[in-house]
Amino acid sequence: MDERERRTKPERIPLGQVLMDDIYLLLALGLGIPLVFYVAWSVIDVMRVPLFKP
């Protein structure tokens, strides 16, 4: 590949780099994943509490 072809054909950016460069995606994942796990954990924890029987 000569210099002229290299200038006309843009280099492909890897998908991992594209995802890691998106700061808002990282922010959303950093807030969303713990939120989902803690909500699921609390729902399971509440379901395990025995019902009150007077």
Task: Note the residue count of the chain.
Answer: 54
> Is 38 within the bounds of a domain?
yes
> Is 5 within the bounds of a domain?
no
> Is 39 within the bounds of a domain?
yes
Report pLDDT for 33: 97
> Is 37 within the bounds of a domain?
yes
pTM of the model: 0.64
> Is 6 within the bounds of a domain?
no
Domain count, the chain: 1
pLDDT at position 8 over 90: no
3-state SS track over the chain: CCHHHHHHCCCCCCHHHHHHHCHHHHHHHHHHHHHHHHHHHHHHHHHCCCCCCC
pLDDT at position 1 over 60: no
pLDDT at position 7 over 80: no
Domain that holds residue 21: 12-47
> Is 19 within the bounds of a domain?
yes
pLDDT digits (tens, 9 = 90+) for 13-32: 999 999 999 999 999 999 99
